[in-house]
Amino acid sequence: MIRRAVIVGGQGAVGRLFTERLLGSGIQICVVDPAGAGSPAPGGARRIHGDITDLSPQLEKELGKADMVVLAVPEPVALAAVKGVAAALRPGALLVDTLSVKQRVDEEFRAHLHGVEAVGLNPMFAPALGFEGRVVAASVAFDGPLTAELLKLVESWGGRIVRVEAAEHDRLTAVSQALTHATVLSFGLALSKMGTDVEEVARIAPPPHKTLASLLARVSSGTPEVYWDVQAANPQAVDARSALAEAARRLADTVKDGSEEDFAALMGKVRGALGAELDNYRELCARIFANV
C-alpha cells in the first residue's frame, strides 16, 4: 500500500499536481528540491533540499523509506538519477517518471531496477487543467500491486488511464504533441515574419484564426523546458517536423503550379488523414467555434 511518497521536482507544475492529489488521498509526501529557496511545498508535505543525481545520506534514507518515488524532473535529470535511486529503493517499492518521452527512461528502468515496480505516466494536458476527464498515458515497465494502486488513484482523481508501451507512446506523441506544437509554433513564426498588426487582424479574424492564435498564446506562454523536451527528446519528432515542412512546401507548390482540381484532391487527401475520426473532430470544431 502507498503510504509514503517522495516527489522529486515537487515544486514544478507537474510535481505540485501530483503532490496535491496524493496529499488529498491521505499519502505522506516529502518534496525534494535542489534549490535552497523557492515556494513552500503544498500544505502537509515536508520539503528537503537535495540533488537526486548526487544522493546525500539524508536523501538516500528518505528514498529507502518511501513506498513510491516520483521523478517529476526533466529527462536528463531523470536518466542520470535512475541508477542511484534504484540502489536506494526498498524491495517492492514503486518508481514513477512523468516524462513526455518514455523509451530512454524505460531502458534505464530495465537496466537498473531489480525487485521494484516502475511505471511512466504522461499527463496529456497542462497541469493547471487538472486530471478530471483527461488522459494520462501509462507505460508500465515492471507491474505490481503498487502500480495498480497508483493507476486507480489517478482514475479516482478523474484521470483516464490509457496503457501504452514505451515505444508506442513515443510514436504516438510524436504526432499528437511534437507535430501539433511544431505546427502552432510555426504559425507564430509566420505571423511574426509577416509583420501584420495583430490587433488589426483580430478585428476581422474568423474562428479558425482565433483558435490557432489562442493555441499559440497558450503554447508560447508555457514553460519552454516542457516544449523543448517534446521536440528534442523524442527521436521521432524529427520526422514529424520534416513532414510538416514538406506539407507546407507541397501546399505552396500546388497553389503555385497546380489547378483548382489539384487543390481539391489535396483537400481530399488531408480530409482522409482523419479517417474514422472525421465526424467526431468536425463536431468538436463546431462546439469550439460556437464559443469563439
In a shared domain, residues 143 and 189: no
Looking at beta carbons, which pairs linking 247-250 to residues 24 or more positions away fall under 8 Å?
248/186
22 and 119 inside one domain: yes
* Inside any domain, residue 265: no
| pTM of the shown model | 0.89
Q: How confident is the model at residue 6 (pLDDT cuts 50, 70, 90)?
A: very high
Which domain CATH number covers 45?
Answer: 3.40.50.720
Distance CA 7, CA 85 (A): 12
One domain for residues 61 and 94 = yes
Tell me the pLDDT band of 36, cut-offs 50, 70 and 90: low
Question: Is it the case that residue 38 has pLDDT exceeding 60?
Answer: no
Question: Is 292 among the domain residues?
Answer: no
63 lies in a domain? yes
158 plus 178 within the same structural domain: no
Give the pLDDT score at 42.
73
Decide which of 36 and 46 is more confident: 46
- Contact (Cβ atoms closer than 8 angstroms) between residue 84 and residue 55: yes
The single residue listed with the C-alpha cell 486507480 is 152
- Give CA–CA dist 113/142, Å, rounded: 9
> Are 9 and 143 contained in the same domain?
yes
Query: DSSP 3-state assignment of 48?
Result: strand
Do residues 227 and 219 touch, judged by C-beta distance below 8 A?
A: yes
| Residues 14, 149 within the same domain | yes
Residue where the block lists cell 493507476: 151
Judge if 37 and 172 occupy the same domain. no
From 136, 164, 192, give the residue that closes a domain: 164
pLDDT digits (tens, 9 = 90+) for 221-262: 988 988 998 999 999 999 999 999 999 999 999 999 999 999
Same domain membership, residue 152 and residue 10: yes
Q: Please give the distance of CA 30 from its chain centroid, rounded to a whole number.
A: 23
Ordered alpha helix ranges (H), 13-138: 13-24, 57-65, 75-88, 103-112
Q: How far apart are CA 81 and CA 138, in angstroms?
A: 20
pLDDT of residue 185: 98
Query: Does residue 271 fall inside a structural domain?
Result: no
Residue 85: count of CB within 10 angstroms of its CB: 26
Of 138, 164, 190, the one marking the end of a domain is 164
Q: Which residues fall within 8 angstroms of residue 54, CB to CB, at 6 or more apart? A: 84
156 and 185 in a common domain? no
Is 291 contained in some domain? no
Same domain, 27 and 41: yes
DSSP code per residue over 119-185: EEEEESS-GGG-STT-EEEEEEEE--HHHHHHHHHHHHTT-EEEE--HHHHHHHHIIIIIIHHHHHH
| Total number of domains constituting the chain | 2
Tell whether 237 and 214 lie within a shared domain: yes
| Judgement on whether residues 105 and 215 belong to the same structural domain of the protein | no
Closest to 100 (Cα-Cα) out of 72, 81, 128 = 72
What pLDDT is attached to residue 202? 94
Domain boundary (164, 184, 202) is at: 164
- Number of CB atoms found within 10 A of residue 1's CB: 7
Range of the domain at 231: 168-257
| Closest by CA position to 10, among listed 36, 27, 29, 37 | 29
**Assigned domain for 97 exists:** yes
Which helix (DSSP H) or strand (DSSP E) does residue 70 occupy? Answer: strand 68-71
User: Is 115's pLDDT higher than 90?
Assistant: yes
Strand order in the sheet with 94-97: 46-49, 28-33, 4-8, 68-71, 94-97, 117-123, 135-142, 160-163
Residue 160 lies in a domain: yes
| Domain presence at residue 274 | no
Better-scored residue on pLDDT, 126 or 180: 180
